[in-house]
Amino acid sequence: MTTSQEIQKQALLLPIGDRWQLVQTLLESLKRGNLSRLRGIAKNSAGMDEIDAKEDYVNYLIKKASI
């Protein structure tokens, strides 16, 4: 059986494009649940482009997952 920590370690070994695909898949699965009502609650900072925002969010998820 695979633990969440093992999955996280494997995910970090993936190429960046595959990690983005994984993030998008996970976010879509969350949207189908109770979190869909929170859509739009987090806004990008002014002047931050889309790639920076995505990178910051992935870093946030990685940090949160390691807690």
pLDDT digits (tens, 9 = 90+) for 11-52: 999 999 999 999 999 888 877 765 556 556 665 555 557 777
pTM exceeds 0.85, yes or no: no
> What's the CA gap between 34 and 51, in Å, rounded?
27
- Would you state the structure tokens that stand for residue 9, as one six-digit string? 């370690």
- Number of residues assigned to the chain: 67
pLDDT at 67: 66
CA torsion sign for 5, 57, 64, 37 is negative
End-to-end CA distance of the chain: 21
pLDDT bucket at 57, cuts 50 / 70 / 90: confident
